[in-house]
Structure 1
């Protein structure tokens, strides 16, 4: 029996964790699930970032993370998207999710969404409508199951993220559309180290998960070993020196789960 401790990952600055180049028109796309297209953070990427974070603090990481001679004491899983930010005409932005995402998170049945959307509060509503980017939703319902989940998550993460004010439940199809087409695309250039100017033909596009997105993951191991990670703010993905990929880690309730080696 190995204990699994849940973690929320709140994206503080746009994050680029490199994905598959073959199936995207973007030069450097983000990591996505193959079957849904939803953004994710591979377990190996998250593990590497945590290890690097501890190494910078001059901590001995071989016992926890392993070496060529021995296996580590911790097992990391992929981090799945839980909320994705979309620009809103009121409240600045909405944190969208969908029934399939929440069913995966709670390991329960999908929430039944009767209307076009459901909100926890009226902070995103203008004259009975939701305006997300250029899209208008005319119906917003009160959903008890959705509200209970939002309340539970905010209790674990704290009120600093204002989840109740921003949380918005959309259909699976609408969520899939937004996470595919509303990431940040930044055009960058490569600099010639000799001349100090832009290399000819060296423009390239990078895709980023926008700030305020929230992922969740599970780390398996003994409680004392997970506690030794002392995770708070760390950096995930590329472009650390230009301030990309900084995230804040929140603890979810620890759960006992069976884990096969």
Structure 2
């Protein structure tokens, strides 16, 4: 088996709905991990999005869909098509980083040791206060953080700092898990309006994961190594060549994402 790890950068706001009934002020919530309660993209939604992405390319034949996904898209189904178990294994996508507004840059990418270590199998040490990388505390003024919320000294080694920058860029803030989760629990909520014959009938609110956020996922190729399956693998790599639409509201630009192999 060949496992590939990808980062998924949100080029636009993302809403992959949880489907849960909510009696709060936000009507439609995003999917969340059952253990950490952080935003996630369930494997079934990711698989469906990638299947639609390849379906839009008419040059890709049905053998590819059968091997990778287990069945061809509905638009291509005939009586001769049989549904089987696909050879590719899709996993949930985990949140890696969120953008936070700042004073000295458009945003800083926020993560936490627990989340980053799961992604890299690194050993970023636990912290009690925020650590700023690529900025100065007095000038940065990260949203909702005061100067005394930061560590006095950078506890990270040069190797750890380089690892963070390689994945998240030059402006980073590493938060304790509790603080990181606080931001994840206060995602933007966008007002939407239901119109009927041009008349407003209902105002409702939809939670979104903001653009520039980064997820990661593992996709496992369970096929045997041969010439045919090598061509399948090469075709699958097209997900890195252009954006993939994930989740709802494609018509208003939501869910455009960029895949990058790690």
What TM-score, normalized to structure 1? Answer: 0.82
Tell me, yes or no, if structure 1 residue 12 matches structure 2 residue 11: yes
Distance (whole Å) between structure 1 residues aligned to residue 244 and residue 258 of structure 2: 7
Cα deviation, 1:183-218, whole Å, max 9, x if unaligned, reads: 1101111122xx23222xx22111100000011101
Q: Is the 8 A contact 1:184 1:208 kept in 2?
A: yes
Whose strand proportion is higher, 1 or 2? Answer: 1
Distance 1:38 1:64, change over 3 A: same
Q: Which residue of 1 aligns with 2:105?
A: 91
Alignment of 1:202-221 (within 5 A): 202-221=202-221
Distance (whole Å) between structure 1 residues aligned to residue 180 and residue 129 of structure 2: 12
Q: Which residue of 1 aligns with 2:234?
A: 227
Report how far residue 91 of structure 1 moved.
Answer: 1.1
Q: Which residue of 2 aligns with 1:187?
A: 191
Cα deviation, 1:60-113, whole Å, max 9, x if unaligned, reads: 323321125311121110110111111112212111111110121123445232
Distance (whole Å) between structure 1 residues aligned to residue 2 and residue 56 of structure 2: 27
Q: Which residue of 2 aligns with 1:255?
A: none
Q: Is the 8 A contact 2:98 2:213 kept in 1?
A: yes
Alignment of 1:148-159 (within 5 A): 148-153=162-167
Distance 1:66 1:216, change over 3 A: same
Report how far residue 49 of structure 1 moved.
Answer: 0.6
Q: Indicate the structure (1 or 2) with the bigger Cα radius of gyration.
A: 2
Of 122, 132, 156, which aligns to 2:142?
Answer: 132
Q: Is the 8 A contact 2:137 2:147 kept in 1?
A: no
Q: Which residue of 2 aligns with 1:257?
A: none
Runs (5+) with no aligned partner, structure 2: 72-81, 224-228
Distance (whole Å) between structure 2 residues aligned to residue 110 and residue 23 of structure 1: 36
SS of residue paired to 1:216: strand
Q: Is the 8 A contact 2:11 2:212 kept in 1?
A: yes
Q: Which residue of 2 aligns with 1:258?
A: none
SS of residue paired to 1:135: coil
Distance 1:22 1:35, change over 3 A: farther
